[in-house]
Amino acid sequence: MMSFYRSALFFLVFGLQTSMVSAQNAVPSGGKLPTKWDSSVSATAPWPEYPRPQLTRSNWQNLNGQWDYALTDPEVTTPPTAYTGKILVPYPYESALSGVAGGSIPKNRLWYHRTFTVPASWSGKTVLLHFGAVNYDSTTSVNGGPAQEHVGGYTSFTYDITGELKPGVNDIVVSVWNPLRSDTANAQVLGKQRAHPGGIFYTSATGIWQTVWLEPVSQIAISAIHIVPDVDSGSVHVSADTTNAAGASLKVTILDGSKNIASITGPCDGTLSIVLPHPHLWSPSDPFLYNVRVSLLSGNKTVDDAGSYFGLRKISVGPDANGVQRLLLNNKFLPEIGLLDQGYWPDGIYTAPTDDALAYDIKEAKLLGFNLLRKHAKVEPDRWYYDADRVGMLVWQDMPQAFGGPGGALTDDSKTQFHTELVSEIKEFWNHPSIIVWTTFNEGWGQHDTPDIVADVQQLDPTRLVNNASGWTDEKVGDISDTHAYPGPWSAQASEQSPRAVVNGEFGGITERIPGHMWTTDVFGYGSTLSGGWLVTRKYQDLLKAAYGLIQSRGTSAFVYTQLTDVEQESNGILTYDRAIVKPIASIITAANQGLFLPLPPNPDQPIVPTAVDVPDKLIWKYTTTENPAAANWYAVDFDDSSWKSGQSPFGQGYGGANTPWTDSPGDIWIRRTVTIPASLPDKLDFRVFHDEGVDIYVNGVLAATASGFVTDYANIPINDAGRAAIKPGQPNLVAAHCHNTVGAQYLDIGIIKAN
């Protein structure tokens, strides 16, 4: 569609009418964790790009920029008489780029105000006021006219404000309440926003967070276009929603670039089907897009004209050569290797700092060999999906969740609102070829009426697949059976009799914390905690080897690694939260995503004392599972362990297997090993430990570290000051440990590394 999407047509930016002091013209701050795009953010006219690539017109006016803002109680329905300051739209109230960087405000109503002038050339036109997204419950009034309300934080909405306009300067007031109801039966659709972030939940994003804009249209106009590609027949089906168009005709022209290749004219209230000469399919390896021109005709006169585009592609489930159900793209099996994508930003929260930043995540994922992004618990601006279409990135789109009260209970009103927002999401984005799966629920969060909701989605959009529940709560409807496994990967066994494909919708979660690029030091993780890109790379490569094995052994069609970027307290991204660093070695993981497993370069940070996975030679420990814990000095250097057995670490069961079985559960194990430690050491050291469950570790008879609970992969435990002082550099040192397991799998292995 590039012929309809040129800067000369769309990069019109409206000059602000409100007065601003010089400090408000400064470049917005990225806050405590800025990104490289912050210096490109306009302090007066951010996000100048045309916001709706799927239905383009040349005439529009951007209302982004400095607005007045104020806070009141939620019950207040009249605008404040005075405003507190300026807020930069479209960045949420809580974000640094908004210029406010306020905390969550579920007990406040946020008010916006600004003025604008409608060009004289718009006289006689219908003037529409568009909001890309406002979170959550908003009212809008122009020139003191009737307040119009919209509920829902993730999709666009439009008001006809023609009757409210006056010559010259016009006044607009928007009020927003984001109650952040997550743990009640009347929960709202809010995704991962929380008033008090922590764990897997993040900062809220209140207010206007996508572009606000004006558009003049004819009284007889196109209001929406629906494009359905048909790969099997090599054709495309186009219909349009219109206003005041009784008796009008619709003309659809298909273009390859700027070359007209097919056209058809028919009734505007029907579907027009066009056979494409020499059909050119869309795929990740060849993301070809056809341009479309849709014209509304009254007699022989064109009364409205809009641009769009589409990709000719098909997504389905069908058997491979062995009869196993697979995800098929254009009737062929393509393994989907993807990333979980939360869509959060340290400077803009829900809103990327610039259009280039928004596209960066998709492009970087593609460069790293991924062909899939699972957009998790959030919906993006239309331009994000446009970028995915152009780059050739497959997208699984989640419906952001309402969570509910005890047991996930939701009121009928909450269920109705959830359904309303789900339908809006599908209709707004259903033209994008990149979107191939709608995910209705995740891990049981607010899950309800699943068979009915899946049936509704399948009826509304039969051209895409439906994942009824990503992880844990599969009700065996829809097109996909989705397993979550950390670190994983894992999936159900594909059945030749099942009509559904099996996928691993979340796995991995490898944590690496990089100082200077973290949102907080109070971190949360649910996968491995590693120190250094080499270790992260090796672990990722091992996980992808397992994934490709499951493609063959279990018929798994797709894998989604957690995750694209760090997010606030989570440090398990392929990229840091500020997008400044790619943690693993790019060439190695790019190859792994293609099923190619290259030799690793030498580890630049060799472990000081290796674990069993660090060395090809097996590590021998003395061990016992029957020693009395009260035995004197079992951890001392001079303790006689000649009666203990010798065994190779790791010790235990589960987690992919151990070299030496330890199966008593509940049960205890004591291990000892003499190691030579280099003469030159850093001041701070960590134990590298895989323990299930609690563990006490000694160096030369001194308690050097203790950890409760368990991990599911190797984790770093700091060696305390006493333990560090007990180490004898350049000499033999005794490492001894006791681990106690109460239930389930168990595991123990220990090394020493430089502290992260």
Of the candidates 129, 178, 172, 173, which has an alpha carbon nearest to the alpha carbon of residue 153? 178
SS3 (DSSP) at 237: strand
Do 363 and 299 lie in a common domain? no
Tell me the Cα Rg of the chain: 29
d(CA 635, CA 134): 61
- Where does a domain end: 310, 330, 363? 310
d(CA 92, CA 74): 18
CATH number at residue 230: 2.60.40.10
Of the candidates 231, 234, 268, which has an alpha carbon nearest to the alpha carbon of residue 252? 268
Q: Residue by residue, what is the 3-state secondary structure of 372-401? A: EEEECCCCCCHHHHHHHHHHCCEEEEECCC
Residue 426, phi then psi, degrees to nearest 5: -65, -45
**0.85 surpassed by pTM:** yes
- With respect to residue 604, please indicate whether it lies within any of the assigned structural domains: no
Do 456 and 485 lie in a common domain? yes
Residue 174 near residue 159, CB atoms below 8 Å: no
CATH number at residue 749: 2.60.120.260
Do 301 and 207 lie in a common domain? no
Do 292 and 322 lie in a common domain? no
- With respect to residue 643, please indicate whether it lies within any of the assigned structural domains: yes
- Give residue 10's pLDDT: 28
Structure tokens at 413: 């009103």
Report, as ranges of residue numbers, the positions in the chain whose pLDDT lies below 70: 1-27, 496, 526-528, 616, 628-630, 756
- Where does a domain end: 175, 198, 217? 217
- With respect to residue 61, please indicate whether it lies within any of the assigned structural domains: yes
Count structural domains, the chain. 4
Do 252 and 321 lie in a common domain? no
- Where does a domain end: 217, 250, 279? 217
By residue range, what is the domain housing residue 660?
620-754
Do 168 and 52 lie in a common domain? yes
d(CA 367, CA 384): 17
pLDDT in tens, 469-501: 999 899 999 999 999 999 999 999 887 678 999
Do 492 and 583 lie in a common domain? yes
- With respect to residue 603, please indicate whether it lies within any of the assigned structural domains: no
Do 369 and 251 lie in a common domain? no
Do 276 and 329 lie in a common domain? no
Do 265 and 357 lie in a common domain? no
CATH number at residue 479: 3.20.20.80
Do 210 and 225 lie in a common domain? no
- With respect to residue 338, please indicate whether it lies within any of the assigned structural domains: yes
Query: In Å, how far are 50, 62, 380 from 10, measured between CA atoms?
Result: 6, 10, 20
Q: Could you give the angle at the alpha carbon of 59 between the alpha carbons of 58 and 62, nearest 5°?
A: 110
Do 108 and 228 lie in a common domain? no
- Give residue 89's pLDDT: 98
SS3 (DSSP) at 88: strand
DSSP letters spanning 654-714: STT--SEE---SSEEEEEEEEEE--SS--S-EEEEEEEESEEEEEETTEEEEEE-SB-SS-
Residue 690 near residue 714, CB atoms below 8 Å: yes
Residue 184 near residue 413, CB atoms below 8 Å: no
- With respect to residue 297, please indicate whether it lies within any of the assigned structural domains: yes
- Give residue 657's pLDDT: 79
